[in-house]
Structures are given as structure tokens and as C-alpha cells.
Chains A and B, each alone.
Chain A
């Protein structure tokens, strides 16, 4: 467990370091057109990038030389009531649905995309009650849509229903 944590910390720190290098390289190209501005638009991001790289190095050193805490080395007794069961299937499914929502929101419109999104989400999360599915699939988009569009004056994407709204 302790080794696993160290490996994760080192990998994360290296990722942050590479990110810092990318930011620094990108910011190099931002020139200062104004002579009165002594630093230019690239200075600040470069400074932050250096900070990220520096702390990443400290993080690696901390992970390599940190003394393991007792709770990291002892294996904790497993308790069925509290054991976390990560479901990559559910996680991946939610990500897919979020992507679907972003890609279709403008094209299909809010009142088509959102019910499909909710339906997919509820089925993915194991909801089988027809009543709950129908109420939520129709109710949530209507309630939020009415609140934002009618009460707050926010124009939601119409998409395919644009002819209907005119």
C-alpha cells in the first residue's frame, strides 16, 4: 500500500513536471508589444510553470524519502459495510453520457438531449422503477428548463425544436 502510494505520487509529480514544461514552452512565444510593460504576457505563466516544476521535484523527493506512516503499512481490516467498490463500468458510462450531452446539446436542443441523458444515467445507475424513470426523465428537464427559461430569462438551446419555439 505504501509503495503503491509512492508510485502514484511520483507518477503524478512527473506529470505535473511535464505539464510545467509545456506551459513554459508555450508562454515563451508570448511577446510584449508594449514597451511600458517590463514583463510582457509570457512572464507570469512562465513563473507559475517554474513553481509547478519546482514543487513537482519536491513532491518526488518527498515520496522517495518519506517515512511510511503506520496506517500505510498495516493492512486495514476489511469491513463489508464500508468497503468502497469502484465501478469502472459506471464511471466510464457516466463519462460517455456527459460527452453525449455536450456534443448534442446544441444540435438536438435542451429538451431532447436532457431527457435522453437522464434516461441513460438512471438505467446505468440501476434504477428500474418505471415511475421514477418517467417522472425524472420528464420532470427534471421541465422544472429546470421552466425555472431558467421562463423565470430567469435564459434562452436554452432549441436545436431540433427551434421551429416549435418560434
Chain B
């Protein structure tokens, strides 16, 4: 194995390979910073180009796009409250607030460095593909339901001061996911007679509307803010070593969550980012700072976002099952070059796998200088006055949401949810909870009903299957833990007063 790894690095250090990897990272970073262009789209656009490349160079180039995309989506999330990709939706919560506090450089720096750490660490999953693939096989419908239920406990972290409003927001998000054609019966639900609603609400326009459009509406409607924003100096100072050390715990949590969620096909970057955010908040020494400009609140989701890559490759390489659209594009590249992903890949073409391993490590390192240059460029762009920024962002939103499905209806959805998001914010509800509900809703309902179909309608299946039972019990504990602690503290305080 050591010889294969060393050969991998040797193969990837060719001039042409390095140039293509640099291009891939740059393309991924720029592409994914455009709302509506996700990692898989950016990779798919380059796929035809890779036809003429050597297989290892092709895979490394696409891996560069993937790595760049994971970071690139976080740039507009921090700068203009617009997640460039679904995976950056959790970064918005603290990233944009840090930007408003003038700590732009610190937020972007933490995002870059922690993302790089997460990406490099997760690549080592490829060395453990065979044992990790057993986890993939252990997950059935009931297990996915358990994981999704656990994911919903994040609502308590996203709810801010009002848990009830957060829960209502989450339920609203789950309901949005229930629109469109039902997976099992084909019945079209809540279509309002529109053919565009057969697929239901698309995540990208809803997310862009709730975050970006609502923020631009807020800036347009409140004129006093302009003086505050235009006179503010955006600090480009990178985080200090002490600040990077302070986010170590969040980075470790993000890495572990990203790898574990990545190994489960279909879970994706968005789920891993939100779960990492929630867990980082739970284990943080300063959980009260989350949602108010915490560097940990940026570190955890951005690390998880990048750490998903390695985990995603596990089912793809070991079993031939793409864990995400991006992994599917990687598999397509393999098949374009005559290789079949799956168990036999390690037997017949092991060097290709280790070339990919070396390439993925190199592109994650390349992300640091390239990401830094891209960020400097963006910071010059957003230092314009508020009205110009509002005009630029709303135009970008129009094009970006249209590009997702070439549909003006999606543009309308984005604007509609912009207005909804504006009022949700004023009334104290939680737009991130709506997004989480929309992301988890489809997984939750499909897994729930599939598990019941497979068990002939027996609800005990969720308890009888150990992984599912563990996640459900964990979810109940997590939900009631704050109330138990609060009750215990009150009881202790009461006892102390009595004595």
C-alpha cells in the first residue's frame, strides 16, 4: 500500500496534472460561489474535457472542482447571506453575522483553513474503503429514518430564543418537502394546478429566497442600515493562531460528522453541515455565541462540507453506489475511461484509486492559495454601496435560480420565499429551520413509509433494528436534555435557598 501511495503522488506531480488541478479548484470555487451552480453541475460541465486526459489527471481535476466547490459555496454565504450551494446553508447563520461585525477576513479564513483540514482528513477514508463500506450496507430505510429524526433535533439549535417558533418553522419546511409527486403512489400533492409543481419545491430557489432575497428586501426597506453598512470597513485580517486553536473542537466535530454522513448514500453536504453545526453548538464552551457571530459556527459546517468528499467516495469506489451527485460524476469519469467502479476496481486498477487519493490531498492544499485569491477578488466586489449591492445580488439571484431548471417559475419561488423569509425574520421564526425541514423532509418521509412497507406495516421495525433504535433514543435524549438540565438547576437552586 505504501508503494501505491508513493506512486500516486509521483504520478500526480506531473506539470499537466498540476495545471489541470489548479484549474479545477479555481473553476469549482468560482462556479460554486454562483447561486444555482452546485458542485455536481460544475463537475459535470468539465466532464467532457476530461475525456482526452489520462484517467488519473481526469479524476484529480474533477476532485479539484469538488474541493473548490465545497469552499466556494461558503464565500457568498458569508459575504452576502446567499449560500452558493445547499451545503453552505448552515454557514450563513454565523458567517454573515461575522461579516456584519466587520470580521469578514476571520470568517473566510476559518472557512478556508478548516475546510482544507476537513477535506484532507476525509481523503484518508479511501484507505479504509472496504471496512467503511460495511457501514453503507448496514443502512436501510429504518436506519435512514432514525438518522433523519436525529437530524431534526438540530431544530432546537436553530430555533434561537423561541423553540416553538423554530419547531413550527421546521414543520413548515417538512411540509414544503411533501409537495409534488408522491414517491410511492405518484399522487401529486399541493400542486395548485401547476405543472411545475409536479417535482415539488426545489431546494435552491427556496433557500436563496429565504436567505438572500429576504436579506436584500430587509436592506432595501431599512434605510438607516445603509450608512452602517457602507461606512463599515471590512477587515481582511485572517484569523490568528489562537483563533484557529479555539475552533479545534468544532473542526474535529465537523470532520467526523462529514465523513460519517458522507458514507451514507443520499444524506449529502447539507445534512452534514447542519448536523455538524448543531453538534458543535452542543459541545461548545460558548454555545450562547452561536447565531451571534461565532467562529465555531463557521468552522463546523464548512469542515463538514469538505469532509463529505472522502466519505462520499466510499460507497462509490467500494460498491459502485454514488453517495451524491458529485460522486456520480466521478463514477461517470471512471466509466468514460473504461473502468468500472465497485469491488473489482481495487483488484484490477488499484493504482488509479491511489492516484485519486494523492490528487485529492493535493487539491485540498491548493485550495488555500487559490481560495485566498478568489476571496480577495470578491471582497473588492462587495465593498460597493448598499443599493448597488442589492441590485447586483437580486440580478444574480434571478439568473442563478433560473439556471437550476431553466424555469421562470423557480425565480418566482425565490422571490416569494424572499417575502416569506422577510416576515419570518420579523416575526421571530427561523428560516434556517425551514431549510432544514425541506432538506430532511424527503429523506424522512420516504424512509418512514418504505420501512413500514418492508415491515408489513409494523411500527416496531424502528425499535427492533438496533441502529434505528439508537438514533431515535439519542434524539429523545437530545431533545429533553436541556429541559432536564434546567429542571435540575432550578431544583438545586431551590434546595440551596431553603438551606
A positions within 8 Å CB-CB of B? 8-9, 12, 16, 23, 26-27, 30-34, 36-41, 44-45, 48-49, 51-52, 55-56, 58-59, 62, 82-88, 90-91, 94-95, 98-99, 101-102, 105-106, 110, 114, 117-118, 121-122, 124-127, 132, 136, 140-141, 144-145, 147-148, 152-157
Contact = CB atoms under 8 A, between A and B. Distances in A.
Interface string B379-393: 000000111101110
A125 to B, nearest CB: 4
A152 B37 contact: yes
A126 B220 CA distance: 10
Most buried by B among A45, A94, A121: A94
Nearest to A137: B391
B185 A37 contact: yes
Interface stretch (B14-22, B115-123, B168-176): B168-176
B387 A125 contact: yes
Given A84-B222, A140-B391, A41 B182 contact: yes
A158 B415 CA distance: 21
A122 B391 contact: yes
Contact of B167 (A9, A55, A118): A55
B412 to A, nearest CB: 5
Interface in B406-465: 406, 408, 411-412, 415, 418-419, 427-429, 445, 448-449, 452-453, 457
Contacts of A39: 449, 452
B321 interface: no
B449 A87 contact: no
B434 to A, nearest CB: 12
Contacts of A148: 34, 399-400, 403
A38 B456 CA distance: 8
B322 to A, nearest CB: 22
Interface of B: 31, 34, 37, 41, 45, 164-165, 167-168, 171-172, 174-175, 178, 182, 184-185, 187, 189-190, 213, 216-217, 220-225, 228, 385-388, 390-392, 394-396, 398-400, 402-403, 406, 408, 411-412, 415, 418-419, 427-429, 445, 448-449, 452-453, 457
A18 to B, nearest CB: 13
Contacts, number: 167
Contact of B395 (A9, A90, A144): A144
Contact of B178 (A44, A82, A126, A154): A44
A112 B91 CA distance: 35
B214 to A, nearest CB: 11
A110 B45 contact: no
B36 to A, nearest CB: 8
A52 B172 contact: yes
A91 B218 CA distance: 8
B486 to A, nearest CB: 16
B427 A12 contact: yes
Contact of B187 (A30, A36, A98): A30
B437 to A, nearest CB: 9
Given A102-B411, A145-B399, A152 B31 contact: yes
Contact of B399 (A16, A99, A102, A156): A156
Contacts of A87: 221-223
Contact of A154 (B221, B406, B457): B406
A72 B270 CA distance: 36
A117 B457 CA distance: 54
A6 to B, nearest CB: 12
A88 B216 CA distance: 14
Contacts of A56: 168
Contacts of A38: 452-453, 457
A153 B41 CA distance: 11
Nearest to B219: A125
A40 B187 CA distance: 9
B221 A94 contact: yes
Given A48-B175, A121-B390, A148-B399, A91 B221 contact: yes
Contact of B45 (A41, A95, A117, A152): A152
Contacts of A124: 220
A94 B184 contact: no
Contacts of B396: 144
B423 to A, nearest CB: 9
Nearest to A135: B388
Given A41-B184, A148-B400, A157-B402, 12 more contacts: A8-B427, A9-B428, A30-B187, A32-B185, A37-B453, A45-B178, A45-B190, A82-B228, A87-B221, A98-B418, A101-B411, A127-B388
